[in-house]
Amino acid sequence: MKTNLSILVLIFSICFGLTSCNSDDDKPAPSISVNDFVWKSMNLWYYWQENVPNLADDAFQTDEAYQQFISSQSTDNLFFNLLYNYGTVDRFSWIVENYQELDQQFAGINKSFGMKYGLVLYDNQQIFGYVQYVIPNSPADLAGLKRGDIFNRINGSQINTSNYIDLLNNEQATFGMAYLENGQLHPLNIEVQLNKIEVQENPVYLTKVFEYGSQKVGYLVYNNFRANFNVELNNAIGELKNQGITDLILDLRYNGGGSVQTATYLASMITGQFEDQSFTKLFFNSKASNNNSTYNFVKQGKSFDNDLNQNGEFLLNQLQLNRLYIITSTSTASASEMIISCLKPYISVQVIGGKTVGKTVGSITLYDNPNSYYTNSDGANPTHTWALQPIVFEYKNSLDQPSPYSGIEPDQSISEIQYLEDLPELGNVEEPLLAQTLSQIVSSSAFRTQPSIGLSQFKWFKDSKNLEKFGQEMYLDKGFEINP
């Protein structure tokens, strides 16, 4: 565009605030205003901005050409058409029409049945689901569902690759139960009716200690890096520390990521001997490169309320460990992968489970507020609530090595779907991924690691976090400091 974009943003901002610039009759239509916000914020922040011709500063020769471009398509289409090779290179950028709902998702508040589930493909296009874990006091919990329960019908319809999204998106659903025996799926004449309600999940799901002679093995199931649960995470580490653990198993198999700062805190809790050294480095596009930054290991953390406003500080409980065992799956992503890749330069990290997602990039929330470089909802355009969650940075470890874009390969490969005929609860020493990990630590073959017979035909399909926009996210906390 020939006119300098920064001048255009300033003019737009001034005119938006002064009634003398436009009468009510000649203000731009809301869709044009929203699309203008989408293009300008993406032009400034989008990580692959230089790879998208229509996001170039000189993409349009006249203002009229620019206006025609942004008015020629819906807001959703404009956003996705501005992404770089969406689905292959950029797999993770998204847009929302209501950022109040997005803010709730940051805090772990969603309308939900209260269970996380995996979906398994069999007989070509048929699907069955199994319960991975249940959120306490949720509809699923109150209905008596538990880990390992299997369902293959919803509202009377067999689940398949064509209808699974529609069926699982229902606000009310009757789940038809089933079981596996000798590699065959058998429907049960049992139905469980669930209604979605607003549920907040505490990501610190379970802590436990196993004793084997002089070894005390701590176990932590951690399902999301949420800043408003930093204190709960620190308390869980403190419990393990007080019990004198010698080793730690960090179960991230259902952890799709979250806050970079919280990941830094967890890495600092696991260690403690690397204060002020680099944990991870963030790299933005050339236009936003002033925000390139390093997150160092720390000894003090910040706490946040459910609105993600800081409400305190605390000293980190630190384990001073030199080795770590991490359980992963095909759902392990972003900030979880950051823990693996960015701790490896410092301590031994053994990975047991499945190959991870390969999300090496992260996002910030962009609002229609050019006065804050689009990063603050306070003072945003009051005529709409659209917001963007585009990829804006890549992370690397202290050695400037990125995480593998194809995903992190485990040192010991094992999948829980091969054990679905009898899947123990998380924390049970016979639970297959935990058993495999314990066998590595205490050098014993006494733990159950043999899969059920006849399940090799079942293929992993998706899980509930794959289906959530915010299920595999890595982001900078609300209100992070901008370097213009």
For 282-302, write each residue's pLDDT tens digit. 999 999 999 999 999 999 999
Confidence of residue 110 (pLDDT cuts 50, 70, 90): confident
In this prediction the pTM is 0.91
Across 147-161, average pLDDT: 97
What pLDDT was estimated at residue 83?
A: 98
For the chain, domain boundaries: 5-87, 109-200, 204-448
What pLDDT was estimated at residue 5?
A: 40
What pLDDT was estimated at residue 338?
A: 98
CA distance 42 to 196: 34
Task: Name the DSSP letter for residue 57.
Answer: T
Across 55-72, average pLDDT: 96
CA distance 359 to 75: 26
Confidence of residue 123 (pLDDT cuts 50, 70, 90): confident
Q: Kindly state the helix (H) or strand (E) to which residue 283 belongs, with its residue range.
A: strand 278-284
Confidence of residue 483 (pLDDT cuts 50, 70, 90): confident
Contact 95, 389 (CB under 8 A): yes
Task: Name the DSSP letter for residue 472.
Answer: T
| Chain length of the chain | 484
Contact 86, 149 (CB under 8 A): no
CA distance 117 to 148: 9
What's at 325, amino acid-wise?
Y
Higher pLDDT, 170 or 17: 170
What pLDDT was estimated at residue 304?
A: 94
Confidence of residue 15 (pLDDT cuts 50, 70, 90): very low
What pLDDT was estimated at residue 14?
A: 34
Q: Which contacts qualify for 127-135: CB closer than 8 Å, 24 or more apart?
A: 127/152, 127/159, 127/160, 127/161, 127/164, 127/461, 128/152, 128/159, 128/178, 128/185, 129/159, 130/417, 130/420, 130/423, 132/254, 132/463, 132/464, 133/205, 133/221, 133/223, 133/254, 133/426, 135/199, 135/201
Exposed e or buried b for every residue in 144-159, given b needs 16+ CB within 10 A? ebebbbbbbbbeeeeb
CATH number for the domain whose boundaries are 109-200: 2.30.42.10
Across 238-261, average pLDDT: 97
Confidence of residue 4 (pLDDT cuts 50, 70, 90): very low
What pLDDT was estimated at residue 395?
A: 97
Task: Name the DSSP letter for residue 417.
Answer: G
pLDDT of residue 17 exceeding 80, the answer is: no
Higher pLDDT, 221 or 465: 221
CA distance 1 to 475: 31
pLDDT tens for 303-342 read 999 988 999 999 999 999 999 999 999 999 999 999 999 9
pLDDT tens for 419-476 read 999 999 999 999 999 999 999 998 766 665 667 666 778 899 999 987 776 667 788 9
pLDDT of residue 9 exceeding 50, the answer is: no
CATH class assigned to 204-448: alpha beta
pLDDT of residue 1 exceeding 70, the answer is: no
Across 68-72, average pLDDT: 95
Q: Which residue has the tokens 């995996």?
A: 118
What pLDDT was estimated at residue 465?
A: 82
How many helices (H) and strands (E) in the chain? 11, 25
Contact 239, 314 (CB under 8 A): no
What pLDDT was estimated at residue 326?
A: 98
pLDDT tens for 345-382 read 999 999 999 999 999 999 999 999 999 999 999 999 99
Confidence of residue 484 (pLDDT cuts 50, 70, 90): confident
Tokens of 295: 């997150």
pLDDT of residue 213 exceeding 50, the answer is: yes
